[in-house]
Structure 1
Amino acid sequence: MTYKQKFAGATAFLRLPEKMAQLDAEERHYKRRGAAATRDALESFLRGETEEPNIQIELNLLDWRMKDDLSSMFIHHPKLFREALTALWADQITFKGADLFWSIIDPALNVLPATHQKRFASLNARTSVVSYFLFVANPQHHPFYRASFSAKAIQALYDKSEGLDRRTISGLLQDFVGRCKHVQALWQEEGLPLEDMLDTQSALYILAQEHFKG
């Protein structure tokens, strides 16, 4: 099956009334609400008003084990996380702060058992964490990266023979977001009512879960 055939099949699947209703009822509204609540909590943390922020409110994007580990790291090393988040949120276009984020908070991993530290060893895991905090900052413009969902679907849809750029976190994010923007534009040309990157990310999640199962 060619990329064009895959894209056409995915578009037809998303166009089903029940899938559009699913995107609206089960994805769009709760993610907007959750991102806003989480962003408020993190901004309060950055202002020094709390040392123990809730890093995922009304959202289920981060795996609960990863969420708990990150929360523990935040609590034990608030200064490092303030510095890392400030660097990450300062440049949300070129993602230069993505690699810097991890270089800053790597020492905070020492509060976790060795088995838990391994959860953050891979490029995919580190990119997912950075992508999550960028999503929280601006969900309309930053699709959430997760290898088994959004990345899986985007690679099936985007007509590019090589895989995603995995040399650096910033490079992977730039490639992933660029592909998301490309398919979003194509879907909008097809008349799918995707309002922003949050909708596109939700569409990719639905496709990965229900359409691209193999």
Structure 2
Amino acid sequence: MALIVCKECGKEFADRATACPHCGCPNDNLEQASPPAAKPAPEKPKKGGCGKGCLVLIGFFFVMAVIGGVISSYEDSERDQKLKSCNSGKAADCEALLGDSEFKDDNLVTNTDFKSKFSAREERRKEANARNTRFYLCERALKESLRDPDSLKVIKRDRVNLLIEYSATNGFGGRVRNVMNCETLKNLY
């Protein structure tokens, strides 16, 4: 940074200043020394869509779907083979199907030695589904019965005895803790 002399007051000031700080006279040298304004770079036209990234992503999901379908069909065909083997009398495959939680076609088992076990398993599933549905409806009824439904905090769910231990705010803003019996839909305390 160089100092120049003001043509009006004769005092020195910086050559980069737009005017003299003492008298306010404009700096004529600044305009001459400043480089010409650069032309703005032409804007590139934006491309529509997502291009290669979307194609890669779509390709990835397609490959994953194909792999998932192959694995699923392999597991299904393996289960079908075990079912045929079980129905033909092979006890080891019947036991394997009993232990397979993904095998849901219990009514397809025709092996007389294992038919009762599969029927019992199907009954337990139905009971569990009915109990879970009842429990869900109970919790929903509990929430709807509260003055401030958003204050409900479930502390413990006892699905065997159909009990819900909870806390919620009462009409005065205090928290209360109670246990609801889902069979009677009444609080225990």
Coarse TM-score class (shorter-chain normalised): under 0.3
Give the TM-score normalised by the residue count of structure 1.
0.24
Which structure would you say has the larger RCO, counting Cα contacts within 8 Å and 6 or more residues apart? Answer: 1
Greater per-residue strand proportion? 2
Q: Report the TM-score, using the length of structure 2 for normalisation.
A: 0.27
